[in-house]
Chains A and B, each alone.
Chain A
Amino acid sequence: MTNVLEQFRSWVEKKANEERPFPGTFWFLFSSLPESSFNSVLGLQPTTHHMVPAADHSRTVQVRKRTGTVLQATFYSLPIHHETVHILFSLDKPAQALRPMYHMLARTRGAVSLFPFGHPVMKECCRLNSKCSLEDTRVVRGVSYPSSPNEGGADINLKPGNAAAFFERVEDEKRVLKTATFRAPATPDGIYCEFKIGRPGYLNYRGGPFDLLFELISERLPKRLATSVRPFEQARGHYVEFKFSEPLFVQPANYHVVVAALSRLPRTSVALLHTNPYFHAALTTYEDGGQFDIFITGHSTIYVRGQGDVSPASFLRIQNGLTEQFREAHISLEKPAEHSFDDLVEGRV
């Protein structure tokens, strides 16, 4: 396997030297299906001509936009798999391939989902070399927008500079990062690797030495992502807490942003059962049939509980919907408290 991946790595690096910026994009997918079912549910077919080394399955997806424009992308399955993390590779620009990717995922009935890249993941990714600091990485381009309830428009160029200053500014201004293009030192003599990370769950390698970035793609990132989904895998019968760093839901009037965030999730139905002043909504996602109870009983936490067996992918989509609205949340499982009789009659329950 190491040889196959090494062959793939050198092929990618060679192609990137020929074409700059290189459009090669890695898509990080969550699925608890075994490899064979994963390929079949995505409609990936065995590859007869090995255009991409190491890729044994592929699928070309076409999407016709309302304007008549046709978007086409081919996705190749890579033999990189860590627990629930699978990686597909495409040779199309992310903007070209994103809609075909969504189209392909919509047919999996929620069995496969993109891993959304939050702010902390993006921040970790931009340090390719542990010997270099965040200041050594340069941001070429960053696209962000204000988080709720802050107002304002998208910012396409945050006066990029070094990554430390860039992330500090994004955090201070409470913005949600959509895409960021980095140039990170990849060799001791200061040669840079350029890559772009997209919040939906892709990483686009644009050029430069590929070794460290490939190590990130094939080892560090899959492990990091697999760990991040653990609370969702153990969520049966528990509430998952999304705890935000600031009090976002002080007034019931703030709930409209939550309703908007939930309603924006594709193919869902949101029914409000209670909103004055605590919040209780029933959410159904038709994508995979997942049903959820969503509560807000405090100022900074959203509690989500699935009914019966709900797939972690479904939780991931909710997480993405909420965090792209309110920024990152600390995610954990709620542990019900134990109380005594005295607690009850003295009003502490």
Chain B
Amino acid sequence: MSAGLPSKKDRTLEEFSKVLKEYAAFDRTLDALSALTYALNNIREIKAETDLIDFTPRLEPVDLDAARYTPDGLVIQKHCDFVLELKTSWNESDVKQIIKYARSGAYFLKDDSKKEFKSDKCVLLGYQNPPGEPNLDKLFDAWQANKIPLSLVLLRYSLEQGAEGERMYFVRVPYARNCLCPKASKFGEAINSPRGFPVKAANYKLHRPRFHKANDQVIASYAAVLWWTRYAEHYLSEEQKSEMAERGRLTSPLTIPWNKIDEVPKMPGTDVQLGPSDVRHALEFLQEAKLVKLKKKAKEFDITLKEDRFIRLPQGIPVPHVGVDISAKILGRWASNKVKKPPRKPKQPKKTHRRRRGRSSGRDTRTLPMFPP
């Protein structure tokens, strides 16, 4: 080892701590969605003014966009409509995304019928780590440049510890150009309140099982832990279920062909569950954690499902103070393998002077793509 370079152990710890932080931050976003759900459903006056709460909304695209927009939430009330987007921290692409949500003129109901937004529409944009003023200026400049006659309200959401336990706090970002919510809404009034409003974890836990992800995003590590714990058993055959019930492990792997990944089992009691692309990311993460084997030639994933006690926490990963669970094992194995056994780069074909087979297809057919179309 050369002097000054961090050791493998340090790098593993660094990777582990990074992935753990992301995991916790994402969980807080789902907590925020649950807390807002509680405020919308369990506060008498707000419930009375609310006609629709959708955490998997689809908005009509604008300009030349083909795909419908997928913000994190849509709240349709008697007098105004709210489009909700929650983020961990600032990203340059946020400006474009929020402008599109604001410009969208309609949303789709569950039966796919289209409904126009009311004139009093408000975009709520929540951050765990609110952006700095230069980024806020960028966002509001773009808002102004697009001449959007609606309110854009920036919120900060944070999990805070109070005397009566932990609470998810929502408060408007104190930025001069930040808008106010429409006054005709009690929900908006709560957000406009200078002190913001909290919802206790003890209360919002009621809605927490409804969220496995936000509408359009889940990080791979979170998806991997949930997939392994919650989804995997739904793929098992009756024989495999019996085997897990008796022995706690499979003797022959559970095989999921690529073309079956899109068939995600329906999870009871969950409104926003992992979708096909999330499952792909989860399986890739689990593959990197060496819990899943990718068989490229057979175009399938092999999963030897087993109960926690058969999975080892890798050496060098600190035992969490709350004890070892499957999330520590999965994230620990991922971090350890990332440093010790990084994935090999695919071999580049040697440059030869062979003629191309045909101009119609320039594709390299010698290696299969990971997910064929």
Give the docked Cα–Cα distance between A286 and B44 (Å): 40
* CB of A280 within 8 Å of the partner chain: yes
* CB of B136 within 8 Å of the partner chain: no
Partner of A349, one of B24, B31, B38, B166: B38
Residues of A within 8 A of B326 (CB): 269-271
Contact with B along A94-108 (1 / 0, CB 8 A): 000000000000110
Residues of B within 8 A of A110 (CB): 245
* CB of B200 within 8 Å of the partner chain: yes
Residues B37-66 near A (CB distance < 8 A): 38-39, 42-46
Residues of B within 8 A of A239 (CB): 205-206
Structural contact, B199 and A263, CB atoms closer than 8 A: no
* CB of B260 within 8 Å of the partner chain: no
Contact with B along A310-349 (1 / 0, CB 8 A): 0000000000000000000000000011111101110101
A109-B241, A284-B233 given; A298·B165 CB < 8 A = yes
Contact with A along B195-236 (1 / 0, CB 8 A): 101111111011011000000000000000110111001000
Structural contact, B190 and A341, CB atoms closer than 8 A: yes
B41 to chain A, nearest CB (A): 9
* CB of B106 within 8 Å of the partner chain: no
Contact with B along A217-254 (1 / 0, CB 8 A): 00000000000000000000101000000000000110
**Residue in B38, B46, B229, B328 whose Cβ sees the most chain A Cβ within 10 Å:** B229
A-B contacts, 30 listed (Cβ < 8 Å): A106-B245, A107-B245, A109-B242, A239-B205, A259-B322, A259-B324, A263-B323, A263-B324, A263-B325, A267-B246, A268-B307, A268-B308, A271-B226, A272-B320, A272-B322, A278-B166, A286-B244, A297-B165, A297-B166, A297-B201, A338-B42, A339-B44, A340-B44, A341-B46, A343-B43, A344-B43, A344-B199, A345-B193, A347-B197, A349-B43
Residues of B in contact with A, size category: 35 or more
Residues A282-307 near B (CB distance < 8 A): 282, 284, 286-289, 291, 293, 295, 297-298, 303, 305, 307
Structural contact, B327 and A255, CB atoms closer than 8 A: no
One of B94-102, B122-130, B265-273, B362-370 contacting the partner: B265-273
Closest B residue to A259 using CB positions: B323
Residues of B within 8 A of A337 (CB): 42, 203
